[in-house]
């Protein structure tokens, strides 16, 4: 099945030697795992995590030694330990969703979002 997908992606697939095919299969599997990891985070934290994640979280997703279960635990931990970050992600989810799915983002009223961000900013400065 993977070879059929790769054959469609690479018109010269039948001309490639065994080593090149093997490398392309490995790359395909690594990218599939990478996508699954992001899908786990989106399912738990919402689509805005794709735009608002930290570089540390991005490195964690790229790290192939982290299991999906561990990644799920990390995401669940973020929910309980970083409530302000979760509020920010939830506020940005509608905009992110419209950008990802090519919807009319201009129809989103940003004033309530900006108001909530302002409140969040004040809350964070008080607790800092």
pLDDT computed for residue 78 by the predictor: 86
Please give the C-alpha separations between residue 126 and each of 107, 119, 122, in angstroms, as whole numbers.
33, 11, 6
Give tens-digit pLDDT for 28-70: 999 999 999 999 999 999 999 999 888 888 988 887 788 899 9
pLDDT computed for residue 127 by the predictor: 60
In this structure, the number of other CB atoms found within 10 A of the CB of residue 61 comes to: 21
- Spatial contact of 52 and 99, defined as CB atoms under 8 Å apart: no
48 contacts: CB under 8 Å, gap ≥ 6:
88, 89, 90, 91, 92, 93, 95, 96
Tokens of 80: 């309980």
Q: Domain locations in the chain?
A: 2-127
| Chain mean pLDDT for the chain | 89
pLDDT computed for residue 128 by the predictor: 56
Length of the chain: 128
Is it the case that residue 123 has pLDDT exceeding 80? Answer: no
């Amino acid at each position: 099945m993977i070879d059929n997908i790769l054959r469609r992606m690479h018109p010269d697939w039948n001309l490639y030697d065994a080593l090149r095919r093997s490398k392309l299969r490995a790359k395909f599997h690594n990218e599939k795992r990478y996508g699954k990891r992001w899908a786990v985070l989106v399912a738990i934290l919402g689509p805005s995590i794709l735009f608002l994640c930290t570089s540390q979280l991005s490195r964690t997703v790229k790290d192939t030694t982290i299991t999906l279960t561990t990644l799920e635990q990390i995401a669940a931990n973020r929910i309980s330990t970083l409530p302000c970050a979760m509020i920010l992600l939830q506020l940005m989810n509608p905009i992110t969703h419209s950008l990802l799915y090519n919807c009319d983002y201009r129809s989103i009223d940003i004033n309530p979002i900006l108001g909530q961000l302002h409140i969040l900013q004040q809350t964070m400065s008080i607790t800092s």
